[in-house]
A and B are shown apart, each in its own frame.
Chain A
Amino acid sequence: MLEMARFTSSFRGCVAPRRTTKPRVLGHERSSNAMSETSPQAVEQTESALVTAAKGGDYDAFEQLVNRYEHKIYRLGLNITGNPEDAEDVLQETFLKAFENLPRFREDSRFYTWIVRIGVNQALMKLRKRRTDKSVSLDDPIEENGEIIPRDFADWAPNPEQQLGRTETREIMERAIQNLPLSFRTVFQLRDVEGLSTEETAETLGLTISAVKARLFRARLRLREDLAKFFKRG
């Protein structure tokens, strides 16, 4: 009975976190407190105002947009390419391309979604240039016959970062995501890390919705299995 009660409470409302991370800025630029206390609607309104101002030639407004999302685009580049130097190139090329194309940004999506799309394309181009065999493809056949079955059923410690320390946790997570095939890693990055919808992810990567879901399912379970070795309780 106790087990059932625990299960029910943990299952209730267990929808994956979406867009829960607030825009984070470097401490030397401005306090993040003001931003963290505003509603998502207010953030979007502010973002829209910044985009309008940047389109009108206000460089400070463009710089504020950069400050708001630079760490996320760097993270995206790092997770997809697995290389800090490539991630920095992706970061610079993404914002330069965003600047060039800003007049053509129609604002039918969030600025962040638009810039993530630019970023993922830059990261994939970087991988294609780096690999001499040009074999970077998101259409790799997924392991339809190789069923992914969870094997580790141990409970995890409630807060792995406290158990292992920040640096070790980060290294474990980076290794785990790099171990994923590119086609899984890219879908997981857009869907779960960047918070794009299934439809936006499919459109960005030129995949069907069912392909996005299949890759996401496999990515999540493989990451879980990898992390379970380190994060299990005790």
Chain B
Amino acid sequence: MHDGGSALGSGSADRPGRRSDVVLEASGVCKSFGGITALSGVDFDLRAGEVHALVGENGAGKSTLMKIIAGVHVEYDGVIRLDGAPARFAGVQDAERAGVAIIHQELDLVPELTAADNIFLGREPLIAGMIVDRRRIAKAARALLARLGIDIDPQSRVGELRVGEQQLVEIAKALSLDARILMMDEPTSALSDSECETLFKVARQLAAAGVAIIFTSHRIHEVVALADRVTVLRDGRHVLTEPIEKLSSGAIISAMVGRDVALAHRDREPTRGAPVLSVRGLTLDTVSRRGWRRVLRGVSFDLRRGEILGIGGLLGSGRTEILESIFGAARGWRGGDIAIDGEPVAIDSPSDAVGLGIALVTEDRKARGLLLASTVRENIALPSVGALARFGIRGFAREAALAADVVEKLSVRCSDVDQIVSTLSGGNQQKVVIGKWLGAEPRVLLLDEPTRGIDVGAKQEIYELVFELAARGLGIVTVSSEMPELLLLSDRVLVMCEGSQTGILSRAEATQETIMRLAAPGLGERATGAAE
């Protein structure tokens, strides 16, 4: 049985990224999906012990390339050489046997099993060929996690771990397969900054031990922080491969989009309208197997017309729960008062909230935001179907007009409004999720990670859209894990820490440092931010 030791044990002292032994080489890789070209003639090489970032906009072909290398896609043109010998994998297992492992963006763990069981799922050591040797599993898993320097109890259920920890379990699993090449698709998209740090530490450690790592990320600063070399893809073509020292963030971005992109700028003054949403003493209690837990401990703020209020804090600090509680979608018992335009309201369900002119754009657009199998038109019309209908008979023409209007206003790139929404790119899907609320004419827009998993160009468009909506007089509350985004968007920043509101910072006060100080638990001084 593998215990993952070889990957780490055989490490040499060479400086990572300087070793010239190429472990994997792809040349002229082409792949098309039914007429749509995903990759055309991509060359790529990977050296042992390097961290190689694969960047590009959505649809540039990063995931496709990784999936070809990992044996997920078995039909393609071109040659892939592993250690100099041409290799063509028949499937994922085949690739794993050759030491190539991939960690998908959506993790493949069984939440009901323990971390140890997940690591050895399908390869359990047996006693007498029949009984699962749980003690050996536990021991091997413990050794593996310890060697990676990961502080996770192998006996804890994966479903109870945080996303960042789950990610590390996936890495441990890949290493237990003796992976020499480890690919991670968007490993950080759901992680908090501190979890990213842990992940990076583990990645560097692995690279030092000779494992070649490929990862993708939409966050350029992470690429700069972690990668030894960067390959940029655009529209399925290879643009450049350079050591990170030779590239600046700006250079990477312009290579990705193929033009110079003005980085996010902001030319709006915080408006001072009347409060549209007032929240007083918002609390939320949830019950789980471990018993009662207070998730929100009294959150109070006023949101003015045309204002953008950012909510900062670490993952699990209760940011999303604030939005869900206001929207009537939180699971659990809610306390506190909410007023819209100064009038106290009772919001018991999302439909109440929608009726009052509140809209929520969820963090997970695929699971909670979209009807993936439906068309763009139906997704956009969904919240307004009732309002556009007459005596319960749908107003098809009005729905179509609304959808066409939204598609044009938000410049959603789709062939027509009858395109199935799952075939759009991430950024365009996100525009649909935001756009579906425009027809409902909300007064308050709640955004949860509005640019998660979308590329730089689309991000920019989303930011501009948010500013435009605010200028139209909507009150906007936005949650973001990305500090630059939070600072860019927010007129004020409300900071959460472990369910408590630790302060509201004005635009002048808000910096990465002040926010982090309020957000990090146990950092001593708890500045009491000016509440208004």
Q: Do A and B bind each other?
A: no
* Interfacial residues, chain A to chain B (CB-CB below 8 A): none
